[in-house]
Amino acid sequence: MFIELIENNFVWNRVLKDLIKKYGIENKLIEENKRYNGELKIYPKPELVFSAFNYFDLKDLKVVIIGQDPYINENQAMGLSFSVPNGMKVPPSLKNVYKCIENTCNVKMDYTNGDLTNWVKEGVLLLNKTLTVFEKLSNSHKKIWKGFANDLIKYIGDNSKGIIFVLWGNDAKALKKLIDSNIHHILEHTHPSPLARNPFINCNHFIEINKILEKSNKGKINWSNF
């Protein structure tokens, strides 16, 4: 078992099951694992693959922040894009996200805590385009999950209104064509990676998100990680 479905009554449960079946995700993971004789670990753990969908239903979704694929080192990946468990070293991209929040929102961040679960609990979907990965091999499962995130984004867009889609980097921006900007909000910037040309520290997305939410009477996101 490489993935475990969430067990709740949320809309996500049905949607994810349908997409897993459509793309044959489980069989593809099994075949890919056989190629390496089962010697490579798969991250995140099976019960964490869909953890981003465990905290709220579609009707409570406010923001979608899209990442690329899970972290490739042991105990880092937790099913939430950019997030790592509390106690793990905060990765460079997430560190830049924290710096940006401090710079633009006047919020103090705890750089020893990379766990973004508090954001998820407020209706922020931290979604990776690829939901699993082999240890030490970035993008190793990209083909397995190809199309999955596209269909999910399309479903969200067609079945909700006023969602804020946050696209950082070219990989995430490729999803823009699936989002109706007349119904939803789209925020774009370079990736928070230290390697990006345009420094992320001045990105105004966290301020903009809360302005949009306030205007829609949905309640601001508390970006603190304390």
All structural domains of the chain: 11-215 (3.40.470.10)
Q: State the pLDDT confidence band at 1, using cuts at 50, 70 and 90.
A: confident
pLDDT at 210: 98
Q: What is the mean pLDDT of the chain?
A: 95
Q: Is 91 helix (H, G, I), strand (E, B) or coil?
A: coil
In this prediction, residues 183-202 reach a mean pLDDT of 92
Spell out a b/e string for 182-205, using b for 16 or more CB atoms within 10 Å of the CB, else e: eebbebebbbbeeeeeeebeebeb
Q: Rounded to whole angstroms, how far apart are CA atoms 26 and 138?
A: 19
pLDDT at 150: 97
Q: State the pLDDT confidence band at 6, using cuts at 50, 70 and 90.
A: confident
Supply 90's token pair.
Answer: 């905060």
Q: Is 15 helix (H, G, I), strand (E, B) or coil?
A: helix
Residue 127 · residue 100 · CB < 8 Å: no
Residue 91, pLDDT > 80, answer yes
- Rounded percentage of the chain residues whose pLDDT exceeds 70: 100
pTM over 0.75: yes
What contacts 199, CB < 8 A, 6 or more positions away? none
Tell me the pairing of strands 63-67 and 164-168: parallel
Residue 226, pLDDT > 90, answer no
Q: State the pLDDT confidence band at 199, using cuts at 50, 70 and 90.
A: confident
pLDDT at 5: 83
Q: State the pLDDT confidence band at 2, using cuts at 50, 70 and 90.
A: confident
Catalytic residues: 69
Q: Give the position of tokens 């490489």.
A: 2
pLDDT for 38-86, tens place per residue? 999 999 999 999 999 999 999 999 999 999 999 999 999 999 999 999 9
